[in-house]
Amino acid sequence: MQRKTVSKKDIDDLFEVIVKLNSVRDCKLLFEDLCTDKEIEQMAQRIKAAKLLIDGNTYNQVIDKTDISSATLCRVSRCVQYGKGYRNFVK
């Protein structure tokens, strides 16, 4: 049996749905259906870690304040440094 893959169009469709959101309430309604509580918590943890890094906190300070894993923090840090999303949208 061949695995079905998610196409670029499927991913674009997801983003199209997200950009239709007009409020925090809308976002909560969609994400509560779309994600598990744990997935939402993990995304919130990454946002908090990014804010802390942008504010100049060290890795150890971020880990102490968020309980994020060092591997996840490393990825967040790379995205803060070289990506565009956190720096453009997380303040």
Residues 33-63 as b or e (16 or more Cβ within 10 Å = b): eeeeeeeeeeeebbebbbbbbeeebeeeebb
Is 3's pLDDT higher than 80? no
How far is Cα 33 from Cα 22, in angstroms, rounded to an integer?
Answer: 17
Place of tokens 């309604």: 29
Q: In this structure, what is the dihedral angle of CA atoms 49, 63, 60, 76, given to the nearest 10 degrees?
A: -40
Considering the entire predicted model, what is its pTM?
A: 0.86
Interval 50-85: pLDDT, tens: 999 999 999 999 999 999 999 999 999 999 999 989
| 10-58 pLDDT per residue, tens | 999 999 999 999 999 999 999 999 999 999 999 999 999 999 999 999 9
Residues 6+ apart with CB under 8 A from 79: 50, 85, 86
Q: How confident is the model at residue 4 (pLDDT cuts 50, 70, 90)?
A: confident
Predicted confidence band of residue 1 (pLDDT cuts 50, 70, 90): low
Predicted confidence at residue 24, as pLDDT, reads 97
